[in-house]
Amino acid sequence: MVQNKAVLENIKSLWKKHVKQPLIQVNIDQALIPFKATALMNYYGSAPGMWIEKNDKVFISLPGVPFEMKALMEHDVIPRLQKKYKCPYILHKTILTYGMGESMLAERIENWEDNLP
């Protein structure tokens, strides 16, 4: 994991404009992304999206807050997919989660995340 300076600056800017509490380490750590990932800048929240390519496949990770995810899909993910692949449709899979907070879910998928390329 490496700290993405642009993501960290975005988090600091969001905190300065909208959050009336000190920036704490857990929020600073949201700027850590896998070194092979490209950060997708989230201008509506602190968690960035991520774009990872391996063997001509693309893996995309997006924040769970619906309006943040939708904005990233519309303004970044879909245009990148359309530029990279010349195909008539986009096939995607969604993992639906419910009944638990993001921190609990993060704990449950930690091993899976740690083993991503």
Query: What is the structure's pLDDT at 90?
Result: 66
Across 35-93, the runs of DSSP E, i.e. the strands, are: 38-40, 49-54, 57-61
In angstroms, what CA-CA distances link 34 with 20, 27, 53, 62, 91? 29, 16, 12, 14, 24
Domains in the chain, CATH or no CATH each: 2-114 (3.40.980.10)
Query: What is the structure's pLDDT at 112?
Result: 84
Q: Which two tokens stand for residue 35?
A: 């070194």
Query: What is the structure's pLDDT at 48?
Result: 96
Query: What is the structure's pLDDT at 20?
Result: 82
Query: What is the structure's pLDDT at 75?
Result: 95
pLDDT per residue, tens digit, the chain (117 aa), is 999 999 999 999 999 999 888 999 999 999 999 999 999 999 999 999 999 999 988 999 999 889 999 999 999 999 999 898 887 776 677 777 888 788 888 888 889 888 876
Contact 3, 31 (CB under 8 A): yes
